[in-house]
Structure 1
Amino acid sequence: MNYSKEASDLDFAYKVRRALNEATENIPEPALDRLAQARKIALARKKTEAPASVLAFRGVLASAGGFAFKGPGSWMGKFGIALPLLVLVAGLIGIYEYEQQQNINELADIDTAVLVDELPPAAYIDTGFSAYLNKAEE
């Protein structure tokens, strides 16, 4: 809503209230008595206020304390904290195992290539080839 519209609405409400207050001074006495009687009847007919039951979860949003449902003491609150941590740990373990498997596969490919190829015996004596093999094993 526009600020100027809010200001004009508020200004209008003040003007209406002022006009009604000024007009109440000019109401005749019998009309005031009838208004008072009508007010008493309306208050007598007013229903008693029943407590409203509302289903609401405390702390559902992150901005409401950071814990789901009833806080850190409830089992749902603990589960809400533990589940993301378990998923994170499982993901990290999975990434580590995948990297290890990739490293093993690369070393196996090098070993297979070395064992299948017919290399001259001088290649095994060469220090550069030994360094290459040591680097591949790391």
Structure 2
Amino acid sequence: MNTDDLNFAYKVRHALNEKLDDLPASTTDRLAAARKAALARKKADAPARVAARKNVLAGMASQLFAEPLSWLGRMSVVIPLLVLVAGAAGIYQFEQEQQIAELAELDAAVLSDELPLSAYMDHGFNAYLTKRAQ
């Protein structure tokens, strides 16, 4: 039952309980008999089922090769993690190579131009090189 159904049931019960003293005895007896019959037909409470998973953390190393399906289950977690680590390392390596290539291009451009030595001492030129390197 959802919340609205429970609220409605409580309101009906409260309304019936308010007028209980005004009912005739024959109606009260019929209601009591109907309640007993309803309780007799009520299904027994079934125990709640709980899905418990087997612990696969520390201390389970002895069962690694005992159950082949659990070993495959562990590999289904390890393999994606390895792929993720390899992908992250590949992306890092690619970014490093891109940065080195950009710096090499900037160095080649600076070295190929014929600049006087005083240009390298100028703070504005250093700011330009720093801005271009980023």
TM-score calculated relative to the size of structure 1: 0.43
Report the TM-score when normalising by structure 2: 0.45
Task: Give the structure, 1 or 2, with the largest relative contact order (CA under 8 Å, sep 6 or more).
Answer: 2
